């Protein structure tokens, strides 16, 4: 039965929000080899299309509605990683995408399989990660009847995907897959979902995998408007207190070397968002550190006092800005972003530049504008870096979590790929691990998803089998997706699992201590599992470290072990992340800037 074109759910609102710009021009892009046209089933088409897109690995979990596709995966031999929970599969795909720069591909079944990837889809949407997610669906004849394992995945994922499709005939599948990869990876990257009813995956149609995508309504703007660039060049020339705020947009655009060149050309100080870390070298003299809630004093004061703030690929997240009324009150704001919907969303912008970050930076370098008179400002900021460094009180016996991160940084020479979960350990890692290279830092920023760090590390290790990968996690977050120990055991990936064990939901405990008069409601977990035995149950080396005296040797043993290792580091339980911008405060109103 041919029902004509796929049901393209009207998504204008979301298209606007995520920068899918309406235009009448035709987009043509040649990315794939031409594939022979032939008649085949929907599920064979899916596998053929993935090969045409040069997909090397799929993350997924099978079930009834997607069985024809898994049968095809079996016959074809295309690499599929069987996670132990769909959430594990999608976070692994996110880690893979973050490190490789390629789209992560996920295949799950209908109903619970699909709903189990919702958190990951929302996470990828918030952090602009390219994913193509296939969800099985019940047959077209029973859609809408509450059939077994039916869920309205199109409805559920509408606000958390860059686009979604429900396929209605096999012959439209090649076009849909082609479009999905194009949409996921171009412009501002994001997740695209394809809902595939079982009968469509069984029926036959003509496989015609075109080289071209025709999406007249989707035309991301890559090249900057030269007049706007001119305005920015002039603003930089006349600025006395300029600062750059760099976000993950620079990483997505692969624009790190251009950023470095531009910064050195103009001698501009740089602050970073959480997700932007690594886009600019963390040990560079002009780097001020992370800005925002747990940012450095120098970065936050630079933003508060600057007269020109140049945001490149950052979206002025509330964790970065603090109280908007008090944000950069005397600054002219320039905002470079590929997504026009971000410009002016949170902050009034004086120089908007809709462009790919790399292209905009290339143009700025080319213009080679007159440098601003900011030597004094740069010196002042250097002084702030020296006077107000990140700090913690040392202890002679107990392992301070900050110390743990510092020592891991030093012992890996900062070369490792580091993933984190969400909480205090995440902030300490962002503060104390200096990322000098792009795409070594994998964390859940926008959604703040506990359970992300471990599966993301598996995906990162699959993307880069020869690089050291360390997952730094809280005791609570690790337990949200620890079922993937089974996958780690099976694959024997050399991922190092670091549990920063403070026997509590640390970040929650910190907020309760500071803002809820120490009423620790459901945040203390004094009874902890035996993580060593847990690791050993999966034939993974397990270690526990209680004393500072054993810290260095334990880190060395962990790093030199050829296979996977889990280390339960028992750290100081009541340590807080400082400095901190309390909710409602401005960036200049940080607490805990200096030791008490």
Catalytic annotation, pick one of 40, 59, 87, 198:
198
Q: Dihedrals φ, ψ of 345, to 5°?
A: -70, -50
* Closer CB to ligand TPP, 360 or 572, in the complex: 572
- Residue 424 interacting with ligand TPP (CB under 6 A): yes
| Site membership for ligand TPP, residue 421 (CB under 6 A) | yes
Q: Which is nearer to ligand TPP, 91 or 188 (CB)?
A: 91
Query: What is the Cβ-side half-sphere exposure of residue 476, based on CA atoms within 13 angstroms?
Result: 20
Least spacing, CB of residue 398 vs ligand TPP, in Å: 15
* 474 vs 586, beta carbon nearer ligand TPP: 474
Q: Is 510 a catalytic residue?
A: no
Q: How far is the CB of 425 from ligand TPP (least distance, A)?
A: 4
Burial class (CB in 10 A: 0-12, 13-18, 19+), 101: middle
* Residues between 505 and 524 with contacts to ligand TPP, criterion CB under 6 A: 505-508
Q: Is 148 a catalytic residue?
A: yes
Q: Is 198 annotated as catalytic? A: yes
Which range in 71-79, 202-210, 456-464, 500-508 contacts ligand TPP by CB under 6 A? Answer: 500-508
Give the bridge partners for 191, in sequence order. Answer: 131
Dihedral angle sign, alpha carbons of residues 365, 414, 302, 382:
negative
Using the contact rule CB under 6 A, the part of the chain among 266-274, 314-322, 448-456, 531-539 near ligand TPP is 448-456
Burial status of residue 330 (CB atoms within 10 A of its CB: 0-12, 13-18, 19 or more): exposed
320, 169 Cβ separation under 8 angstroms: no
Stretch that binds ligand TPP, among 197-205, 235-243, 387-395, 446-454 (CB under 6 A): 446-454
Please choose, out of 17-25, 167-175, 196-204, 502-510, the segment that lies near ligand TPP by the rule CB under 6 A.
Answer: 502-510
Q: Which is nearer to ligand TPP, 194 or 450 (CB)?
A: 450
Residue from 52, 390, 422, 498 that binds ligand TPP (CB under 6 A)?
422
3-state secondary structure 303-355: HHHCCEEEEECCCCCHHHHCCHHHCCCCCEEEEEECCHHHCCCCCCCCEEEEC
Site for ligand TPP in 455-474 (CB under 6 A): 474
Give the x-and-dash track for 523-542 against ligand TPP (CB under 6 A).
--------------------
The Cα-based distances of 365 to 248, 250, 358, 563 in angstroms read 20, 15, 10, 45
From candidates 305, 475, 484, 575, binder to ligand TPP by CB under 6 A: 475
Q: What is the DSSP letter of 103?
A: P
507 is catalytic: yes
For ligand TPP, which residue of 449, 461, 481, 512 counts as binding (CB under 6 A)? 449
What are the Cα distances from residue 84, in Å, to 90, 448, 451?
A: 11, 22, 13
| Site for ligand TPP contains 423 (CB under 6 A) | yes
Contact 232, 351 (CB under 8 A): yes
User: What are phi and psi for residue 309, nearest 5 degrees?
Assistant: -110, 120
Give the three-state DSSP class for 166. strand
Residue 340 burial (10 A CB sphere; 0-12, 13-18, 19+)? middle
Please name which of 64, 66, 111, 114 lies closest in space to residue 89, comparing C-alpha atoms: 114
86 classed as catalytic: yes
207 versus 441: smaller Cβ distance to ligand TPP = 441
With CB under 6 A as the contact rule, the residue among 18, 85, 425, 541 that binds ligand TPP is 425
What's the closest the beta carbon of residue 523 comes to ligand TPP, in angstroms?
Answer: 7
Closest distance of CB 477 from ligand TPP, Å: 3
Catalytically active residues, by annotation: 86, 148-149, 198, 507
Q: Which residues bind ligand TPP (CB under 6 A)?
A: 421-425, 448-451, 474-477, 500, 502, 504-508
């Amino acid at each position: 039965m041919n029902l004509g074109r796929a049901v393209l759910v009207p998504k204008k609102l979301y298209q606007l929000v995520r920068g899918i710009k309406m235009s009448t021009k035709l987009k043509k892009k040649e990315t794939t080899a031409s594939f022979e046209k032939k008649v085949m089933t929907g599920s064979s088409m899916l596998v053929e299309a993935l090969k045409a897109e040069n997909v090397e690995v799929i993350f997924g979990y099978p079930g009834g509605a997607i069985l024809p596709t898994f049968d095809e995966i079996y016959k074809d031999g295309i690499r599929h990683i069987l996670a132990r929970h769909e959430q594990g599969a999608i976070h692994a795909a996110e880690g893979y995408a973050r490190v490789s720069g390629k789209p992560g591909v996920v295949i799950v079944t209908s109903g619970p399989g699909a709903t189990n990837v919702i958190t990951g889809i929302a996470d990828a949407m918030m952090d602009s990660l390219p994913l193509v997610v296939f969800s099985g669906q019940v047959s077209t004849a029973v859609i809408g009847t509450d059939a077994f394992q039916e869920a309205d995945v199109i409805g559920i994922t509408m606000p958390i995907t860059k686009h979604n499709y429900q396929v209605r005939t096999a012959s439209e599948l090649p076009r849909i897959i082609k479009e999905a990869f194009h949409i996921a990876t171009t412009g501002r990257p994001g997740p695209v979902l394809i809902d595939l009813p079982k009968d469509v995956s069984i029926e036959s149609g003509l496989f015609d995998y075109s080289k071209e995508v025709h999406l007249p309504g989707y035309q991301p703007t890559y090249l900057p408007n030269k007049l706007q660039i001119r305005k920015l060049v002039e603003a930089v020339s006349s600025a006395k207190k300029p600062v750059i705020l760099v976000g993950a947009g620079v990483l997505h655009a692969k624009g790190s070397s251009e950023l470095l060149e531009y910064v050195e050309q103009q001698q501009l100080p740089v602050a970073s968002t959480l997700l932007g870390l690594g886009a600019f070298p963390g040990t560079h003299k002009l780097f001020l550190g992370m800005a925002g809630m747990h940012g450095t004093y120098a970065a936050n004061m630079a933003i508060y006092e600057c007269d020109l703030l140049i945001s490149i690929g950052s979206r002025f997240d509330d964790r970065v800005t603090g109280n908007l009324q008090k944000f950069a009150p005397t600054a002219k704001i320039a905002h470079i972003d590929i997504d026009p919907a971000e410009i002016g969303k949170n902050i009034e912008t004086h120089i908007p530049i809709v462009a790919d970050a790399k292209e905009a930076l290339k143009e700025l370098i080319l213009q080679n504008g007159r440098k601003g008179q900011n030597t004094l400002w740069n010196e002042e900021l250097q002084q702030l870096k020296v006077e107000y460094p990140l700090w913690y009180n040392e202890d002679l016996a107990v392992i301070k979590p900050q110390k743990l991160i510092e020592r891991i940084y030093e012992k890996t020479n900062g070369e490792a790929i580091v993933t984190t979960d969400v909480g205090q350990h995440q902030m300490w890692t962002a503060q104390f691990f200096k990322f000098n290279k792009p795409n070594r830092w994998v964390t859940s920023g926008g959604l703040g998803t506990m359970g992300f760090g471990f599966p993301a590390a598996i995906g990162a290790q699959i993307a880069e089998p020869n690089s050291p990968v360390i997952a730094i996690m809280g005791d609570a977050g690790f337990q949200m997706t620890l079922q993937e120990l089974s996958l780690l055991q099976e694959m024997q990936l050399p991922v190092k699992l670091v549990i920063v064990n403070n026997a509590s939901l640390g970040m929650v405990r910190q907020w309760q201590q500071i803002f809820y008069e120490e009423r620790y409601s459901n945040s203390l977990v004094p009874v902890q599992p035996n993580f060593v035995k847990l690791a050993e149950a999966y034939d993974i080396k397990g270690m526990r470290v209680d004393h500072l005296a054993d810290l260095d040797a334990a880190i060395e043993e962990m790093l030199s072990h050829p296979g996977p290792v889990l280390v339960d580091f028992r750290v100081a339980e009541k340590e807080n992340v400082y400095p901190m911008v309390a909710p409602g405060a401005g960036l200049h109103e940080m607490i805990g800037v200096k030791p008490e």
